Amino acid sequence: MIDLEKFLSRRGRAMHASAIRQVGDIGLAHADLISLAPGFPDPQLFAWDEFRAIADRLLSGSDGSILQYGATRGYQPLLDALPEILSHRGIRATNTEVIITTGSQQALDLCARVLTDPGDVVFVELPAYTGAMTAFGNARAQLVGVRQDEQGIDIADLDRLLVGKRADGRRAAIVYVVPNFQNPTGLLMNGSRRSELLAWALRRDVLIVEDDPYGALYFTDLTSRDETRPIKSQDNEGRVLYLSSFSKTVAPGFRVAWIAGPQPLIARLEVAKQSADLCSGTLDQRFVYEVWTSGALEAGLPRLRTAYQTKRSVMEQALRAELGNAATWVPPKGGFFLWATLPGIDTKALFGRALQHKVIYVPGSPFYVDHGGHDRIRLAFSAASPDQIRNGIRRLADALREEREATDPGRAEGARDGRHSAEETPASTADQ
C-alpha cells in the first residue's frame, strides 16, 4: 500500500472540507428526507422557458465562440453590462474594474490567494459563511471572529481585535462581511453600521471584502431596496472588493459571479484566475448575459422576492406552532435562511436524531471560528416547498422532544407543554 499522505503538501494536508457540503451530501444519500440544510434556490423558480429559448439560440451551431475558450477576465459583453447592474445598487464601476468568476466561491478563493499569506489575519463575523472560512482557512490565513449583534458587525470589538493583532506584529488588513441577509444568520446590517465600518476601514487602513449574493432578494414586508445598498456604494477610494453572483437570481448551475474593485487588484485577481481555470464557462456566461439582456432577470426578481418571503413566513408559522418557545430567532428580512436558537440543545447532537426523523439542517457551530454556537441551527427555507417546510419542522420538533427526553426528562415535559399550547403562544415569544 503506498503512503499517499507523504505526497501532500502542508497546505493540502491542512485543508478542511466545507461543513455545509458534507451535510448536503447526506441529503442526497437518503430518499424521503426533507432537507432544510443547503442554501439552494428553488428550481421551480428558475426561468425554464427563457432558458430553453436561449439554449436553442445559443446552440444552433452558427457561432463556434459559444463553446470556445474565452478571456480570463470574462465574456466582454457581460463585463460591459456589469457597470449598469452595479449602478442599480448605487455602485459606480467601469468595465475595467470588474472580473467574472466561477461562482462567488471562486471569488473568495482568489481573494484568499491574492490578499493573504499564511498566518495573516482575516476578520470574519461570528458566525460567518463557512465557504469563506474554508477559502481563507485553506490559504492558511488566521481567521479571527468578531462579535455581531442584530445591526451587524461590532466595530468596537473589531477595532480591539485589530489593535491586539497588530501589536503582536501580525499582518491584519482584511475584513470579510456579508451585510445583506447574511449566511447563516439572515441578518441585514443597518445603514449606520455600514458607514461606520467603511469609516473604520479608512482610519485603520483595512480592505473590506463585501460578499453580496442575496441583496436582490429582500422581503418587502420587512425592508426595502434602499436598506440593501452595499457598502461599496459609499466607497470613493477603493477600500472595498465587492463580490456578487447570479447563483441566487438566475441559477447556481451556471456558476457565474463577479468581483468589482479597484483596477490594480482586479488585475492581480485575473492573474490568479488564469491558473485556476483559464476562464469561467463560456456557455454559462453567454446564458447569463442573454437572461440579463432579455430583461428576464430584472423582471423575475419580484416573483423571487415574493416566493421566498412566503416560504420564510411558512417556516416561521411552523416553528411557532411546533416548537412554541423552544426556539427564538430574528425574523429574516431577505435571503434564504432562518437562524434559530434552541436554548439548552446541542444542535450537533440533535442532528443524528433529526436524521432518523428524516429531516436535516446545518448545526450552528461550523459557522463559528471560535467553535461557539452549539445551540444554534440554520434552517434554509429556500428550496423546500411550503408542505415540505411544514413537515420538516414537525419532524424537527419530534426529534427535539426525543432529544429532550433523552438528555433531560424534566425539561422535556416543558417542551411538550410548549407544543400543546402552541395555539396560544404569542408570536412575540418566538419573534424576538
Q: Which residues bind ligand PLP (CB under 6 A)?
A: 39, 103-105, 129, 131, 178, 183, 211, 213, 245, 247, 252, 257
Smallest distance from the beta carbon of 21 to ligand PLP, in angstroms?
Answer: 11
For residue 42, the tally of other CB atoms under 10 A from its CB is 16
For residue 314, the tally of other CB atoms under 10 A from its CB is 19
Smallest distance from the beta carbon of 214 to ligand PLP, in angstroms?
Answer: 7
Smallest distance from the beta carbon of 180 to ligand PLP, in angstroms?
Answer: 9
The strands making up 337-341's β-sheet, listed across from edge to edge, are: 328-329, 337-341, 376-380, 362-363
Smallest distance from the beta carbon of 107 to ligand PLP, in angstroms?
Answer: 8
Smallest distance from the beta carbon of 412 to ligand PLP, in angstroms?
Answer: 35
Our CB check for ligand PLP shows the closer of 131 and 324 to be: 131
Our CB check for ligand PLP shows the closer of 134 and 183 to be: 183
Smallest distance from the beta carbon of 289 to ligand PLP, in angstroms?
Answer: 16
- Sign for the CA dihedral angle at 341, 347, 350, 354 comes to positive
Nearest to 189 by CA among 200, 201, 177: 177
Our CB check for ligand PLP shows the closer of 251 and 399 to be: 251
Cα 178 to Cα 189: distance, rounded to the nearest angstrom = 8
Cα 408 to Cα 381: distance, rounded to the nearest angstrom = 30
The residue type of 154 is: D
By Cβ distance, which residue is nearest to ligand PLP?
A: 103
Our CB check for ligand PLP shows the closer of 116 and 247 to be: 247
Our CB check for ligand PLP shows the closer of 255 and 390 to be: 255
Our CB check for ligand PLP shows the closer of 257 and 350 to be: 257
Burial class (CB in 10 A: 0-12, 13-18, 19+), 43: exposed
- Sign for the CA dihedral angle at 422, 425, 428, 430 comes to negative
**DSSP 3-state assignment of 114?**
helix
Our CB check for ligand PLP shows the closer of 213 and 324 to be: 213
- Distance in Å from the first CA to the final CA of the chain: 57
Smallest distance from the beta carbon of 14 to ligand PLP, in angstroms?
Answer: 22
For residue 41, the tally of other CB atoms under 10 A from its CB is 21
Cα 279 to Cα 328: distance, rounded to the nearest angstrom = 44
Our CB check for ligand PLP shows the closer of 53 and 272 to be: 272
Smallest distance from the beta carbon of 299 to ligand PLP, in angstroms?
Answer: 21
Nearest to 82 by CA among 285, 234, 302, 220: 285
CA-based angle 223:226:231, to the nearest 5?
A: 115
Strand segments (E) across 309-403 = 328-329, 337-341, 359-360, 362-363, 376-380
Our CB check for ligand PLP shows the closer of 38 and 418 to be: 38
Smallest distance from the beta carbon of 291 to ligand PLP, in angstroms?
Answer: 15
Cα 229 to Cα 192: distance, rounded to the nearest angstrom = 12
